[in-house]
Amino acid sequence: MDLGITGRRAAVAAGSAGLGLATARALVGEGVKVAICGRSQERVDSAVGELGANAVGIIADLSGADGAIGFAHAAAEQLGGHLDIVVANSGGPPPGFATTTTIDAYLEALHLNFLSTVALCNEAVGPMRVAGWGRILAITSVGARQPIGFLAASSSARAAVTSYIKNLATEVAGDGVCANTIQPGTHATDRITKLGSDQLDSLRADIPAGAPGDPANFGQVAAFLCSEPAQFIVGASIPVDGGATRALQ
């Protein structure tokens, strides 16, 4: 299928590793010019080297709104025009239960996962609306659909992102901009593949598909949600989890 996005310009936050890198890889494979960001120069350089000539790397810290806005500006400048596609993404907060997570930890999660997403998307969406075309995709977590008890801060912040994107989607859909979230379950990223055999067996037991997901497949789903054929997918939250979540919505 031709996704119809060859030559488009995309910013993929936290795109130097994991599912962010998988998404950037899939977009580059569709002919998209991609800017990625990360905090490690070495990791960003390595990812850009893998992605090839259609990718640029930017050092940015997305733990605050200023870093997210700076990334949006730098990505547009280095790609030579306004952003057509924005993929909001960030690392996860430390684990903790609802009553053991401190207020400061909740605030840090909100800055990292929620407010940085709001800042990045709000900065990029204006030119998309003027152009009459745009795609915004936030990588959240299945924890936004079915809260994960020991990841209370993450689940709460990801749920806030889901609500924001839903509101944004209804506001900008009439201007040709589609905004959605994608909710990953457990995937075979470097962090997961380094777990011990007992931990991996436990993960597999909780996934009806029988194994952690392939990041490359995740990236392809994400790329589709950024595509021309996805124009009628508006304000959706798409789980990509091998059936791990049992929630009806």
The two three-digit tokens of residue 147, written as one number: 């809260």
Q: What is the pLDDT of residue 113?
A: 96
Beta bridge partners of 56: 35
The reply to whether CATH 3.40.50.300 applies to domain 9-237 is: no
Q: Which residues of the chain carry a pLDDT beneath 70?
A: 191-203
Alpha carbon distance 248, 65 (integer Å) = 33
Q: What is the pLDDT of residue 206?
A: 83
Q: What is the pLDDT of residue 148?
A: 84
pLDDT, tens digit, 9 for 90 and up, residues 198-235: 656 666 778 899 888 999 999 999 999 999 999 999 99
Strands 85-88 and 9-12: parallel
Question: CA gyration radius for the chain?
Answer: 17
Q: What is the pLDDT of residue 29?
A: 98
Alpha helices in the chain (DSSP H): 18-29, 41-51, 65-79, 103-109, 116-131, 152-172, 190-193, 197-205, 215-225
How do the domains of the chain map onto residue ranges?
A: 9-237
